[in-house]
Each structure stands twice: as structure tokens, then as C-alpha cells.
Structure 1
């Protein structure tokens, strides 16, 4: 489940939406009634959805959108006249009067999108520092020299040992270097 922040100038509207979401199994992280408190609530979170109204006492939804963390998506709930933004990244909108099933379907779709994005970020290969890359290259070179491995075989050997021992590639390369240089 992703973080959900609800922000409306009227607390009772925010609490009504929170109740609807809670009954459907969603956990609401924060409820706010000003733009500043909504932004403050989002800043400590890594990804999520903000469900908000059009106008607050201190700012408009567009200012919240501008300053919210880039990992967040916004669901704007406003009158049809208030919804002018079309084709803006990370901004969905629902017009009033609000239908419960539309709200739930939209939140479910946004939640799914954020979950997919998080999964893709986790699957990206890690960027190694220059020192770590040099250590891996040194370990491969030692394995190639001493065992007659090709570079690919040496890499696979380090990967296999890393998985077998439950350690990272760099840590395994360090162990290989310390063991092979002692001999």
C-alpha cells in the first residue's frame, strides 16, 4: 500500500474521503486542511497519492502540485469548471459531485501505477563507485590469471559465490582478493 495524503479546506470533507478509503482497505497517512500542511506531510514520505481540493486558505492546488515531491501523484477533486488541466503528468482529476466508485477506481489505478514505478526502480541495476568497479575488475583479473577463466566466467564465478554466501558482489570480490593474494 502506498501513502495517501488527503487535503481539503474543510476537515469534514477530508474525513469523509478518509472513511470511504478506509472502508475499502486503504490506509490514509495524513489529513490536512492547508496546502502547507499537505506539503509538510508529503515531504517525509517517499511515494504516494495526494487527494486534494481546488483552493485552500494559503494556496491553490497548482502550487501544491508544483512543490510536491516528484514521486507523488495528485488526484484533484473539484467542480467541472475548476478542472482545467489536461494531460499533466502525475495529475488526475474527478469532478464534483463525487461518485464513490469513481474515487475508488481512480485511487486503485494510481496506487497500481505507483507500485509498478517502485518495482521498476528496484529492478534497475545499482550504480557502483569507481573503487567498487576496480575491485571487481581486480578480482576478475586474479581469477582469470590463476584459474584460466574468461572474463565472463570470472564474473559468473563471483556472482555465484556472492549468491551462495548471501553477500554483495563487491564484498565477494574483496574476499576473493584477500584469499588469492595470500597464497
Structure 2
């Protein structure tokens, strides 16, 4: 789940930004005034975006960025003078005074990038070791011999049982082999 966490030292500023985000349909996980609170909220979601100011009550934005996992991005809202040293990696910035339109567009862009990366991670094919391939082949051969199935039917059987039981196909093949070899 993607969460947006709003962190500003002034609670009213944080609440106003949260209200703006909620009005346009974005899900805000939490509103807080310290980096420690933001890290607690970050632990409750898989990935997310931190919308924050330059200086929080207990730390600077760069310290918070260091403590956050890589699956989080940060949107820094600060005056142009604060950016002269440059931004830390994984941080985007908007200058003060902020325009609602710019905030929404930037957050939408960040959410789309996170979604694209998530889909790319899911697409990477998890390769099996030769031992795992041999185990699956052995289970299919056993199903073909004992149940008079074709290789395609045996594979489909393993896949279906794998999905039904919530295990991966290698574990299902192990179960078939242990049950049928008794």
C-alpha cells in the first residue's frame, strides 16, 4: 500500500496540506510534526511519499530521508535559498509559496513513477534453480505415469494446486512427490 505522510513543524500547515490532498482524492496516511512520528507512520505502509518542510521539530529533512527505507520518496517544500546546497537523492522539491496545482501535479507524477517501478519489479521473472526445475519435472513425470496425464495436464494440475493452496509451484511439486512416493 502506498501512503502519503505529511510532516511539518506547524501542525496547522500539515493539516491544511492534508485537507488539500484529501479533497482531490489522495489517501493521506498520517499528519505529524516530527521525523520520529513520520518514521512510525512509514513502518505501517509498504511504500510512500513524505511531504515535508526543510526543518522538522526533531531533525532536518535530510536526516529523515536517511532513516527512511528506499521505497519512500520525499517531496520537500521549502524556500529557494534552502536548496543551494542541492537536494539529497530521492528528494524532489517545490518552492514556497506553494501553488496547489503544482503540489497536485508533482504528487501525481511521483505516484505514477512509484506505480511504474512496482509493476516493473513484479514483471521480473523469478528464475528457478536447476534443482527446482528437476523437482517440478519429477513431479510432472510421476503425475503422468500414475494418473495417465499429458505433460501439459500435469503442469496445469501443479499450477492449479499451487494457486489454490497459496504456495509456489516448487512447494506443490514437493508435496506431490512426498504424498505419491509413500
Q: 3-state SS of the aligned residue for 2:56?
A: coil
Q: 3-state SS of the aligned residue for 1:93?
A: strand
Q: 3-state SS of the aligned residue for 1:82?
A: helix
| Structure 2: gaps spanning 5 or more residues | none
**Alpha carbons of 1:178 and 1:67: their partners in 2 closer, same or farther (altered >3 Å)?**
closer
**Residue pair 1:161, 1:172 contacting (<8 A) in 2 also:** no
CA shift for structure 1 position 143: 6.2
Q: 3-state SS of the aligned residue for 1:81?
A: helix
CA shift for structure 1 position 142: 4.1
**Residue pair 1:83, 1:95 contacting (<8 A) in 2 also:** no
CA shift for structure 1 position 57: 2.4
1:2 pairs with 2:27: no
Match of 2:64? 64
| Aligned positions of 1:164-183 closer than 5 A | 164-165=160-161, 166-167=163-164, 168=167, 169-174=169-174, 176-177=176-177, 181=181
| Alignment: residue pair count | 176
1:33-63 Cα offsets, whole Å, 9 max, x none, are 0111112221222101000000022110000
Query: Alpha carbon RMSD of aligned pairs, Å?
Result: 3.1
1:50 pairs with 2:50: yes
**Distance in 1 between the 2:118 and 2:33 partners?**
28
1:99-149 Cα offsets, whole Å, 9 max, x none, are 1100000000111111222222333344668985563243245468889x9
CA shift for structure 1 position 31: 0.6
Match of 1:114? 114
TM-score (norm 1): 0.79
| Aligned positions of 1:5-154 closer than 5 A | 5-84=5-84, 85-86=86-87, 88-126=88-126, 135-140=135-140, 142=142, 154=151
Q: 3-state SS of the aligned residue for 1:94?
A: strand
TM-score (norm 2): 0.79
**Distance in 2 between the 1:91 and 1:50 partners?**
9
| Structure 1: gaps spanning 5 or more residues | none
**Distance in 2 between the 1:124 and 1:79 partners?**
40
